[in-house]
Structure 1
């Protein structure tokens, strides 16, 4: 039985790369601590920085999304092992068996000719039956609820991320917070060794270095 890469669609698989975003140090907190120690003025500025306040809110939503994503992935793995993804096997007129996972894939394999109506009807029926079994198992296992919760948390985090573009930073830590959120979110979906992620990591490192230097200079002025 063949399983065509061109006709197989697995809509339930989560594409997010958790480890990519989770391994990045929250640079904004590092910078904030390095610049605020013993500096009352900087402390007051940080507390009133809207970008930092937004980043803390995003951080909470982001962490929740990661937790829920791991949960639904564990449940998804068990679900696939127990009932497998919805699918149907189609025997083509040429005699080849092809496994499809969606109506779209079925259309690609069979087309819409009247001479294959019976074949299409059977494939649609098989796919619908397997889908119903998947949906029932998803509800019973808690996977459906976990997937919904993850999507809601992700939408919340995405909304906060978009808000960074309209939220001014008033401190170096606030600027670092914006870059930190962009980097962590972006690398969760893309290859972290490609543009612009190395450049953003470099900019974050520069901000931390500047923040530490300003702390030293402030200490010298106060001594």
Structure 2
């Protein structure tokens, strides 16, 4: 995965002093760890999604289908949804209790299959890796960069984690991409004898509909 941070780091390696600076840059060290955890999170995400698809095909999401007094057939996927549909009235006690029993049985079937197939473990591992990646991303805000590669690493991480899709046109992504491109251009002017191919980033995974910050 070729990123601007790696580009700057690789080109600076021709200079011994540059190498020493890169090794001592706390922001670049943080980026390396974030990069590792970020890749791990994406691998785990793909794994749990594959397992979830198989689980849905074989067991189906926990749910219960019931017919409300008005005659409409409704499918709910949680106890909260069941209570919302049926309410708490005494005339719904029998229907609500029967539906809760049916839902609990389906949930137990899902839980058992999730444990057996490894989906539960994969989901837990993905969440733990994602939490770790978020902690590292937050640490960039308080970790000073001492090299251009460290600055590029910060921008690279923000773009890859924050963009909903590649070349997102809404604020602040065009501005951040521009800043990263400027960084490469300036580095080329400062070290003309070294080759800087420019910004090359992997396409970020699509996680949501709009261009917005993480909640």
Same fold (TM over 0.5): yes
Match of 2:5 in 1: 28
Q: CA RMSD of the aligned region, Å? A: 2.1
Match of 1:8 in 2: none
Q: How many residues align?
A: 195
> Is 1:59 matched with 2:35?
yes
Structure 2 gap ranges (5+): 196-215
Deviation at 1:39, TM superposition (A): 2.6
> Quick check: 1:176–1:207 contact (8 Å CA) kept in 2?
yes
Match of 1:186 in 2: 162
Deviation at 1:194, TM superposition (A): 2.2
Match of 1:171 in 2: 147
Match of 1:215 in 2: 191
Match of 2:200 in 1: none
Residue 117 (structure 1) aligned to one of 80, 86, 93: 93
Residue 107 (structure 1) aligned to one of 83, 87, 94: 83
> Quick check: 2:188–2:194 contact (8 Å CA) kept in 1?
no
> Quick check: 1:31–1:212 contact (8 Å CA) kept in 2?
no
More helix by share: 1
Residue 126 (structure 2) aligned to one of 142, 150, 158: 150
Deviation at 1:59, TM superposition (A): 0.6
For 1:38 and 1:194, how far apart are their aligned partners in 2? 38
> Quick check: 1:86–1:130 contact (8 Å CA) kept in 2?
yes
Match of 1:205 in 2: 181
**Secondary structure of 2:155 counterpart:** helix
**Secondary structure of 1:216 counterpart:** coil
TM-score (ref. length: structure 1): 0.81
For 2:68 and 2:19, how far apart are their aligned partners in 1? 70
TM-score (ref. length: structure 2): 0.84
Match of 1:127 in 2: 103
> For the structure 1 residues 125 and 163, does the alpha-carbon distance in structure 2 shift closer, same or farther, using more than 3 Å as the test?
same
> For the structure 1 residues 69 and 124, does the alpha-carbon distance in structure 2 shift closer, same or farther, using more than 3 Å as the test?
same
For 2:178 and 2:2, how far apart are their aligned partners in 1? 13
